[in-house]
């Protein structure tokens, strides 16, 4: 693999780190001092999988228009990555429209450059730049809680973290969206800053694009991306289905798997989102009242014409036997018979410690019993045949 590094200052520490990153991932580095030197290079013209990295440093900024022109000239032979702290929105759109370039910020460059490099040479549109594997289809998975305290947000977040940690042929790009726009607490679970400004989207949904989404993204070190709102007291009734679907359409186009944490209240667009999901996981507790709510919810989804394979049940906080297995109640299990059910064991001390320290359970101790239970949910997600396609 060939990577052209276009800069007159390869000794700069930031540039040096980028060069080391590319070398570590098997790239042969070709140094160029100006953009004009790249387009006519015979090594580039003979290949279709080259990478062109154009870093812009403070005091030595690169003209974005030159980068856009370069992307147009090398399209079909290379993919151009412009690295800078910021880029004007109009120029960002022009860069992406070339189909052979993208921009990454210095703060996330080390991760995003490798993600983008995995796309080079594939025929996947650049609109799906976050997609981790060319053969992956976009999938939406919704977690729907049926009672307070069922741990719906935790289950959604841990399943997303589990999927985001997969490697090799199973690797997927994953985003999680907290649709509780009014009082989101999800970012606190991973000690992130919530960046989604839904009020801004409500005011002008036509402005929503990939540039704005990048601003709205809270990025976790695990490669999991999060879209969650700060508690700004927005009137939930002011958010109509058009705004929600505009947001989800943009996000779904960028990731292999999008996990949705559904709100605890039923407003008109909720059923529409559930119906468009590839898989709906109805969550509750291992108790008679909660299971009754689960049955009522699965019946409601069936009446909304969701197919049986689109719906599964997750029973959370189950007690365990002395040998570590789920302590089953035949009466409760009997009520759930005929449904696909996942049981997640209770592990309060571990879960509480992870929440208080802002770390994911499945990524800190994946062999723990509760994490193995969550992994089974992740495996079920990977087995779904998506109906939402690029």
How far apart CA 194 and CA 192 sit, in angstroms, is 6
5 touches 19 (CB < 8 A):
yes
Residue 144 has, within 13 A of its CA and on its CB side, a CA count of: 27
Amino acid 314: pLDDT: 98
How far apart CA 125 and CA 134 sit, in angstroms, is 10
Residues 243/98/121/32 CA torsion (nearest 10 deg): -130
pLDDT tens by residue, the chain, 390 residues: 788 888 888 888 888 888 888 888 888 888 888 888 887 788 877 666 788 889 988 888 888 999 998 888 887 778 889 998 888 877 877 787 777 788 888 887 887 787 777 655 443 333 334 444 444 568 999 999 999 889 999 999 999 999 999 988 888 999 999 999 987 889 999 988 899 989 888 888 877 887 788 889 998 877 899 999 987 677 787 788 889 998 999 999 889 999 999 998 888 899 999 999 999 999 999 999 999 999 999 999 999 999 999 999 999 999 999 888 899 999 899 999 999 999 999 999 999 999 999 899 999 999 999 999 999 999 999 999 886 444
CA angle 281, 284, 287 (to 5 degrees): 145
Amino acid 118: pLDDT: 65
Q: In terms of Cα–Cα distance, which of 27, 28, 36 is closest to 6?
A: 36
User: Token match 């969701």: residue?
Assistant: 306
Fold agreement between 2-128 and 139-383: yes
CA angle 273, 274, 277 (to 5 degrees): 90
Q: In terms of Cα–Cα distance, which of 150, 153, 158 is closest to 285?
A: 150
Boundaries of every domain in the chain = 2-128, 139-383
Amino acid 388: pLDDT: 47
How far apart CA 187 and CA 217 sit, in angstroms, is 11
Element (H, E) at 175: strand 174-178
User: Sheet of 2-6: strands edge to edge?
Assistant: 28-32, 2-6, 50-55, 78-83, 101-104
**How far apart, in Å, are the Cα atoms of 59 and each of 56, 106, 228, 359?**
9, 15, 35, 38
Amino acid 271: pLDDT: 93
Amino acid 121: pLDDT: 43
Instruction: Cite the DSSP H helix spans in 165-287.
Output: 186-189, 198-203, 210-216, 241-252, 268-275
How far apart CA 336 and CA 134 sit, in angstroms, is 38
The CATH code for residues 139-383 is: 3.40.50.300
Q: Are strands 225-227 and 218-219 parallel, antiparallel or unpaired?
A: antiparallel
How far apart CA 173 and CA 252 sit, in angstroms, is 11
The CATH code for residues 2-128 is: 3.40.50.2300
């Amino acid at each position: 693999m060939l990577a052209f590094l276009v800069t007159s200052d390869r000794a700069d520490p930031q540039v040096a780190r980028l060069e080391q990153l590319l070398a570590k991932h098997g790239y042969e580095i070709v140094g160029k001092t100006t953009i004009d030197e790249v387009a006519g290079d015979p090594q580039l013209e003979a290949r279709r999988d080259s990478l062109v990295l154009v870093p812009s440093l403070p005091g030595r900024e690169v003209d974005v228009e030159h980068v856009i022109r370069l992307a147009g000239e090398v399209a079909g032979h290379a993919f151009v990555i412009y690295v800078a702290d910021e880029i004007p929105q109009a120029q960002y759109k022009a860069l992406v429209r070339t189909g052979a370039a993208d921009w990454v910020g210095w703060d996330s460059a080390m991760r995003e450059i490798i993600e983008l490099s995995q796309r080079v040479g594939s025929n996947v549109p650049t609109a799906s730049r976050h997609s981790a594997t060319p053969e992956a289809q976009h999938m939406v998975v919704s977690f729907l809680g049926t009672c307070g305290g069922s741990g719906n947000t935790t289950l959604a977040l841990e399943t997303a973290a589990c999927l985001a940690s997969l490697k090799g042929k199973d690797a997927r790009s994953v985003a999680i969206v907290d649709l509780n726009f009014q009082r989101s607490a999800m970012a606190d679970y991973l000690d992130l800053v919530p960046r989604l400004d839904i009020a801004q989207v409500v005011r002008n949904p036509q402005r929503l694009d990939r540039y704005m989404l990048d601003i709205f993204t809270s990025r976790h070190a695990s490669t999991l991306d999060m879209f969650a709102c700060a508690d700004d007291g927005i009137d939930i009734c002011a958010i109509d289905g058009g705004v929600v679907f505009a947001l989800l359409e943009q996000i779904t186009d960028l990731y292999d798997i999008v996990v949705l944490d559904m709100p605890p209240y039923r407003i008109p667009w909720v059923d529409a989102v559930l119906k468009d999901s590839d898989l709906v996981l109805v969550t509750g507790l291992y108790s008679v009242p909660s299971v009754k709510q689960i049955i009522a919810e699965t019946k409601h989804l069936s009446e909304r014409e969701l197919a049986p394979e689109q719906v599964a049940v997750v029973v959370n906080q189950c007690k365990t036997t002395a040998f570590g297995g789920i302590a089953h109640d035949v009466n409760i299990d009997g009520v759930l018979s005929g449904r696909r059910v996942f049981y997640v064991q209770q592990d309060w001390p571990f879960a509480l410690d992870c929440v208080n320290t802002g770390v994911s359970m499945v990524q800190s101790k994946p062999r723990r019993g509760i994490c193995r239970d969550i992994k089974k949910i992740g495996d079920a997600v990977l087995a779904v045949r998506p109906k939402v396609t690029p």
